[in-house]
Every structure is written in C-alpha cells, then in structure tokens.
Amino acid sequence: MSTTFQLDTSTSRANPTPAPMKRLTVPRIRARKKDGVTEQPLVMLTAYTARQAQLLDAHCDMLLVGDSLGQVIYGLPSTIPVTLEMMANHGAAVVRGSYHSVVVVDMPFGSYESSPEQAFESAAYLLKQTGAAAVKLEGGEAMAPTVEFLNSRGIPVMGHVGLTPQAVNVLGGYMARGRSDAEADKIVTDAVALEKAGAFAIVIEGVVEPIAIAATEAVSCPTIGIGASARCDGQVLVTEDMLGMFERVPRFVKKYDDIAGMIEKTVATYAEEVRDRSFPSDEQTYQPKS
C-alpha cells in the first residue's frame, strides 16, 4: 500500500503554497551544538493538525507530534491509551502543513518497549505513513540498545529523560525529578547512554535545574528542555498550554496569551447575534440576481 504526502510545501486552502523553502534536516539540528555550545537555542512546539503546523512552522526548528495529543485532542486522562494509528494520522497532517521544521513523531506507549525489533516495526510504520523525519521515545539507559538499533537502520531518534509521562504509573505522578542524588545520577547517566547510542537530541522534562544543566553539559547532542533549564540547548512546550487554551497547566508553562478567553468571548458574541437575528446580515446572505 502506497502513501502520498507532500514534504516541501503547504497546499491547504487555508494557507496557499508558500515560496519554496528547504526543510531543516536532522543532521542540521544535531550540528547546532558545537563543542558543547548551542549559540542559538532550538525552538520546538507541539503540533497535531495541518493548520496548527502552518501557523507554527516558520517560527520553529522542530515540530513535535506529541502523544500529549491524547489529553489535548482526545480528552484522555493520560498518554497511555494513545495508539500508533492516532500518531500516524496526526503526524501526516503536521507534515502536510509544514515545509520548514523537522517533524518528530512520538512513539506511543507499548509500541517500542518489548524489543528493538518491535520498535523498528513501529517506527518504520510511523515514518512511512507520515513522511516525518524522526521519532521520539521515552526512557534512558534501558532504551539505549533500541536507539542504537533504530539509528543503525536509518531511523533518527530523539530521546526523552527525566519525567517520562508514559511511566507515570511507575513514577507515581508528574513530580519533578532529580531531587535525590540517585535520581540525579540516573538522569545524567541516561542522557549520556542515549547520546552514545546515537540519539540526535534529547528532551529533558521536569528535572531540577542543576541536573538539567549537568545533563546538557555531559552530552554533545542538543538537549531540549521542558520544565528544566534555560541553559538547555532548546525548549519545547505543548502549544495549547503556552497559548492559554487550558486553565490548569504545569508550573513550568508560561502562558503567552489567553486564547481560551478569546474564543469564549467570540463565541458568546456569535451566539448573541444568532439569537437576536443580526447574523447573518445582508453581507453574509445570497440575494436573487436582478
């Protein structure tokens, strides 16, 4: 079965095809960190739809099709129920809506943990179905053989250490990690193991700042912080969180706007105009030709 997707331009009627722009690549992202330093931090946000990708693409280096879509899009209680099919459908939409950013797709819980072979089958499926450039998986030293297996077979991998939401049942919640010496040592060890296995970048989530800095300094690939430190090599947030779509967000989120409030205000105005019959007006109504 063949899959058709558009890699280089956006063709949606919501955003006509832009001037051609060469998409960033995984090696270019990896090369942004030289001699342990990333002069210009990498910008990453989540995206789940084509239109969202269109709006974010020009401003980002990477777009993450996160399994957070389980909560943000589907209203699920966690990321655990998310399926490969969900990730493939949303990943394909984001690739179609972007032409500049590297698109990374999360591998959902249960799709890669049992063996490197299972991980390859799942990752290959995601890349074939979406046209994305890379996958992301959670876990540190224990997942290093899987990362090496995928990388050696042509699948770029972004790692994820610290607070790993797919392991929430083991961790006992979404608390910050790295407060104990043992936890701190493990986070740095995990990051180093992933880098040695070939990860081109590593997300560091929900980690106390000194440990996030230590992990960043310990690896030669870029680190992407979320609830970590400004001294990571880049940052990622869930787009809906930073736009103010939800009332409750993690402590590490900065709300840059109040989109939820804007939507509620606009919808209230629409509802009022419908009820008082001021919408549609003559401007929105078709009349017979004279």
Supply the pLDDT for residue 250.
87
- Is 138 marked as binding a ligand? yes
Point out the catalytic residue in the list 85, 121, 141, 205: 205
CA geometry: angle at 245 spanning 88 and 208, to 5°? 80
How many other C-beta atoms can be found within 10 angstroms of the C-beta atom of residue 279?
15
- Is 68 marked as binding a ligand? yes
Question: What is this structure's pTM?
Answer: 0.91
Q: Indicate the burial class of 248 (C-beta count within 10 angstroms; 0-12, 13-18, 19 or more).
A: exposed
Respond yes or no: is residue 141 known to be catalytic: no
Supply the pLDDT for residue 286.
94
User: Would you give per-residue pLDDT tens digits along the chain (290 residues)?
Assistant: 444 344 444 445 555 555 556 899 999 999 999 999 999 999 999 999 999 999 999 999 999 999 999 999 999 999 999 999 999 999 999 999 999 999 999 999 999 999 999 999 999 999 999 999 999 999 999 999 999 999 999 999 999 999 887 876 666 665 676 688 999 999 999 999 999 999 999 999 999 999 999 999 999 999 999 999 999 999 999 999 999 999 999 899 999 999 999 999 999 999 999 999 999 999 999 999 98
- Is 152 marked as binding a ligand? no
Looking at the DSSP bridge assignments, the partners of residue 174 are none
**CA 267/CA 265 separation, integer angstroms:** 6
26-258: CATH homologous superfamily? Phosphoenolpyruvate-binding domains (3.20.20.60)
Looking at the DSSP bridge assignments, the partners of residue 63 are 45, 103
Listed by start position, the domains of the chain span 26-258
